[in-house]
A and B are shown apart, each in its own frame.
Chain A
């Protein structure tokens, strides 16, 4: 079946602009996760959803970052007033339920802020 998809695959934006990153999880997966990976670094956990609810938003790097999930499916990560340090690959994953269920990752969105 279809895996996790993310769009766009690449995004180049100017500093100060807003961007929206989209994640389509595997159908039927109730849990959805967002991570960030900077060049040569490990994965930084940002936020997770159980259904449409995000119980803990403390992993978001700043108040410029927000995320939502609608209909228990598609999720959007929004970064307002982008900064150069926001440049990274943003990865989305979904799982049948919360950990310890296996997470399936999407291909990521490479964000470059110029």
Chain B
């Protein structure tokens, strides 16, 4: 079971780029890395998923180094509405990938 470690909280200002790093030293060969976002009083929402190198979509980028022991979620030019909790998940099948932990609380100020 690949355990993940993320910072408890981060602060940023509008317009800045935010990078949240997740450590997963025991990641297995078949494991994927997935990030979710959760706003207060809502269920989590999928942001991005990757296996290796770099993945980019319309809201974020995910950087995964060659050893895959960590990953970095990059949010370009954050706004106040990006204030949320961000969760990193690692695994390859139901049960092992479903540990959300406490995530990283990102606070964006003006």
Interface of A with B (CB < 8 Å)? 4, 31, 33, 35, 41-45, 48, 50, 55-56, 91, 93, 98-100, 102-108
Q: Which residues of A contact B85 (CB under 8 A)?
A: 42
The docked-state distance in angstroms from the alpha carbon of A31 to that of B98 is: 13
- Sample 21 A-B pairs with CB under 8 A, ordered by A number: A33-B94, A35-B98, A42-B101, A42-B102, A43-B44, A44-B100, A45-B98, A45-B100, A56-B95, A91-B43, A98-B94, A99-B32, A99-B91, A99-B92, A99-B93, A99-B97, A100-B32, A100-B34, A100-B49, A103-B36, A103-B46
Interface of B with A (CB < 8 Å)? 32, 34, 36, 42-46, 49, 85, 87, 91-95, 97-103
Give B88 Cβ to nearest chain A Cβ, in Å.
Answer: 11
Give A46 Cβ to nearest chain B Cβ, in Å.
Answer: 9
Known contacts: A93-B43, A105-B43, A107-B43. The answer to whether A100 contacts B97 by CB under 8 A is: yes
Q: Please state if A106 and B97 are interface contacts (CB–CB under 8 Å).
A: no
Q: Please state if B43 and A106 are interface contacts (CB–CB under 8 Å).
A: yes
* Most B C-beta atoms less than 10 A away, residue of A31, A50, A93: A93
The docked-state distance in angstroms from the alpha carbon of A43 to that of B94 is: 15
Known contacts: A100-B34, A100-B92, A105-B43. The answer to whether A42 contacts B87 by CB under 8 A is: yes
Q: Please state if B98 and A48 are interface contacts (CB–CB under 8 Å).
A: yes
The docked-state distance in angstroms from the alpha carbon of A93 to that of B87 is: 15
Of the candidates A41, A91, A102, the one whose C-beta lies within 8 Å of that of B46 is A102
Of the candidates B42, B46, B103, the one whose C-beta lies within 8 Å of that of A42 is B103
